[in-house]
A and B are shown apart, each in its own frame.
Chain A
């Protein structure tokens, strides 16, 4: 049980920080893909301990944040259908769509329930067979296997009233889209630990091969993150672009084959709409083959014109924040019109959003 303290040891952190300071000769811009990295760095104060030559940019690794306004509008429409219970992770409740959020839909009478895992939704479906129970499937490669497991279980038990609205997304294509756009100059990528535990560190090979950038997989404790940054800085200084794994206790090169098999059985790769990135080919997961009968999409009338009219909240620049183009504090709404209590955009709502991290831990107030 004592795996936390040893990765927070201040003396070892100082050694790593010194190594980073000694190595970093020229300015470098690194991107941490994952919102959990962003939050961990703020929580432990890592940004302020790094030498000023190192700039950390936050990437699109917050599943709530990258859900598009149009998809959110569809989720709200699903929740408002008679006989439908929409189950969702709590973070999604407050994210604003074009007109209101799931929370306001709930107040207006929609049956929206917060779940902690996909198995909670399965339990509701079991208990309330007369209702159609829809899971709002939000998350990356880490969350999707639990959804797959729930559907397999439903299939086995013959549960007919469970549906999945899959907004699941794959992280490497989003990373590739950001790198391809060339909008931000990056010198290296801190790759997400949890996601890589599923897909394997080898899934990031394209970063080194196609974009000639160093890429290091890191865990989420302070020493993990510092180790990852030190490795990236060393690669930058040495002119190396390789994929390294600084999270050996959690991540293997090939990932988790069991979880991958589960994903492959239930899902197929599809296009997906990302807030900030737009439509990214082969970056989503849709139900495949015999699991299509669990798909919630047919419940919605896709010809309704509303979907194409989805719009982002006025003045919200979450899209730019998610691409690493805009620092949250430079958004004109930040901390004024947009706060965690009254969020305008999703990056201020989610516990993994970078605006929320800057606001909570930033100390700018």
Chain B
């Protein structure tokens, strides 16, 4: 156990347990309530978070908000059954009540003991800082006003600018009946700029943003206010020129970075352990089989330093890992939490995540990306006679059972005879995950991660994620434009 792990546990104890009169030793008794007859595993998840948001509109920061959230979630498992209860009070009484409630999922069977808590050393993937301190309120407001000035100065067509700066300071502690004891301090910050540009009666939006697990100062040091303001204006101006998108099947080239949302939707969700245990995923039972073109290697990596989707430990206390999902086109692994891993006879992969103490953990993605290939991005574009080049996306969705997925372009261009020509209006692209991955024919050497803006939703729970990929060519995908 490292001194860093000690320090993290001490801080989590002070923040989460001490105010309610608890200490680490008291958690054994707390877990005991959840380990009722027939329960084979139980865990306690303590969380406290502070969220701050500053919003600029009309050149002025007129609105700011602050939210304090926290409590304990208690989960009791018996085979495939899960009992769950939570409380926003972290006291011995609350642990007893929620523990007994969660354990009520079964009413008979053996009473198993609680293994002594052992703090496992895990490597920190980000600094355990409070990102809300460090910059003064004046500094934060100055950043937002800078974004406004830069955006308005960039082009006279810019008519509206909004910018936001948000930060979350989160402290979690996990204690499970198998002896797990882990703590994490997770900073998360984000800066966003959105503009409306108007020209000749036409109105379009552009937006840009990013962030990660670090202090707000870094956003200022990296001058994101100016960069994202310029980027948002550039995108709005491009969209002012956009023509109607074509409709039908055609080759699609995806730019590097954020278009990696393709992987998140087309393969990522389908490789989450719960769907595969239940057999409801189009990828169920296909480990060892070819599910993508040769050269396609997809990883889910929680260990990337300071990234939005990174985790030092997951929400079950398992250290974050890098898991290869697809290697050279062959399906090699699923993303697992403890429950699904145990039921499938596999190892947990550090992918257990939950929106908060009031939600059950599930296998979720962290940072999901495709490794670089060998093609020159310019050659990839040159290879397309008529198709679409999409560089930014709004969001996506997948039906993991049929494999159908969509993602919606927010900045895209026509490719004609190997050259990028006119920008086209946003269009939804639709495909079938395994089929689409088999149509990847060229992979660029320009792998990029996104700037840190992703939120993934699953069963109503949102968690921050990252995506990435190199420039990529799919030989055929359905483009949902309006022109035949």
The answer to whether A and B assemble together is: no
- Report B's interface with A, CB cutoff 8 A: none
